[in-house]
């Protein structure tokens, strides 16, 4: 009878240990980019000084003084983008109140338009312009474009550009584009490089997965803030407080 040599279990065991160790290291490294804040109900990325939210009628009535007063560690809400208009005629039913109360509370405010590619870009700009009066200390106007509604890429680019041109001409400041990573690469990558970008992306921890420059990152849509009954989107500004102040509108007196 031939005696068989026993196979060593050492090598498979080492492989398992290495896999576990690598997985633990990767998890710790990934988690290190975010800190969990139970009070906000979410993890917030490290390395960003200026934090904010964006709201619409879905957040219902907001106590903006409570929003302003909430501070956990070094995190507090410095800015808010507020939905103003949509399409050709619609205005968010809470816009006027939110616009006024955010300013009263001392929060830097910005107004955004929800863009419908099926409608004229210029006419949508006229809707926004007729509703929104920007003042010193406000953020630049924003176009929120995130759904195609079956419209071709060329048509979307044409109408978005018409909106941006009209808004920039009226306010004298370059508008911000808000969109998600996939929509940007599919529809807006060509021809819009010169516009400031506010990008939504929830799947990467240290920064959004996009190759171009950006100024705002919407990193969560399920945050909690004092003074707001419903979940709210959280954003960070890509710069320090001095950079943020430079972004705010400074108009010559009329």
Which residue in the list 54, 86, 92, 144 is annotated as catalytic?
Answer: 54
Query: Which residues neighbour 70 within 8 Å (Cβ) at sequence distance 6 or greater?
Result: 39, 76, 77, 225, 226, 227
Which residue in the list 146, 168, 189, 226 is annotated as catalytic?
Answer: 146
**Is 146 tagged catalytic?**
yes
DSSP symbols for 27-84:
HHHHHTTEEEETTTTEEEETT---EEEEE-GGG-S--HHHHHH-EETTEEEEEEEEEE
Distance of alpha carbon 184 from alpha carbon 145, whole angstroms: 9
Task: Tell which residue, 83, 95, 81, 84, has the closest CA to residue 51.
Answer: 81
Residue 10 is inside which H or E element, if any? helix 10-31
Instruction: Note whether 54 and 218 are within 8 A (CB).
Output: yes
User: Which residues face 235 on adjacent strands?
Assistant: 52, 218
Query: Which residues neighbour 216 within 8 Å (Cβ) at sequence distance 6 or greater?
Result: 52, 176, 178, 197, 198, 199, 235, 236, 237, 238
Q: What is the DSSP letter of 184?
A: I
Handedness of CA 142, 144, 148, 149 (dihedral sign): negative
Active site residues: 54, 146
């Amino acid at each position: 009878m031939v005696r068989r040599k026993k196979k060593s279990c050492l090598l498979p065991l080492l492989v398992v240990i290495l896999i576990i160790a690598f997985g633990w290291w990767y998890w710790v490294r990934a988690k290190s980019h975010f800190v969990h804040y139970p009070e906000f109900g979410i993890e917030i990325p490290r390395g960003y000084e200026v934090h904010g939210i964006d709201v619409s009628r879905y957040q219902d009535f907001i106590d903006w003084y409570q929003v302003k007063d909430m501070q956990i560690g070094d995190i507090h809400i410095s800015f808010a983008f507020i939905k103003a208009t949509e399409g050709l005629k619609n205005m968010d039913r809470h816009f006027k109140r939110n616009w006024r109360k955010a300013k009263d509370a001392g929060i830097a405010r910005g107004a955004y338009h929800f863009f419908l590619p099926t409608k004229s870009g210029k006419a949508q700009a006229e809707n926004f312009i007729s509703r929104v009066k920007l003042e010193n200390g406000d953020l630049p106007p924003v176009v929120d474009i995130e759904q195609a509604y079956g419209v071709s890429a060329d048509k979307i680019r044409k109408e978005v550009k018409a909106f941006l041109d009209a808004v920039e001409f009226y306010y004298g400041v370059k508008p911000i584009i808000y969109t998600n990573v996939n929509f940007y690469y599919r529809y807006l990558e060509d021809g819009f490089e010169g516009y400031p970008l506010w990008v939504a992306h929830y799947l990467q921890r240290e920064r959004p997965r996009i190759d171009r420059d950006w100024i705002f990152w919407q990193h969560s849509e399920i945050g909690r803030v004092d003074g707001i009954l419903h979940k709210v989107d959280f954003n960070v500004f890509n710069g320090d407080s001095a950079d943020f102040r430079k972004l705010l509108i400074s108009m010559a007196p009329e």
